[in-house]
Amino acid sequence: MENVIRDSGLDWTIVRPTRLVNRPGTGRYRVSPGFPPPHGRTIARADVAHFIAAALTEDTWLHDAPAVAY
């Protein structure tokens, strides 16, 4: 399915969170292109939402598939 998104001609970002947990967001997380950051095993859903909102407004990860973790 990623190839369909990549070939769509649209602006896109594929967010790859590590294991999602039900904890409050911290606003502090690590983002890495392609693979999760070293030792990054979990991330709160709230922090994934924070990253998505930032990615939508800043275009930092346009046409990329970053991994997000603590």
Q: What is the pLDDT of residues 10-63, one digit of tens each?
A: 999 999 999 999 999 999 999 999 789 999 999 999 999 999 999 999 989 999
Question: Domain containing 35: what range?
Answer: 2-69
Cβ–Cβ < 8 Å for 25, 42: no
> How many Å apart are CA 66 and CA 15, to the nearest integer?
6
Domain count, the chain: 1
Q: Which of these, 65, 31, 62, lies nearest to 48 by C-alpha position? A: 31
pTM: 0.90
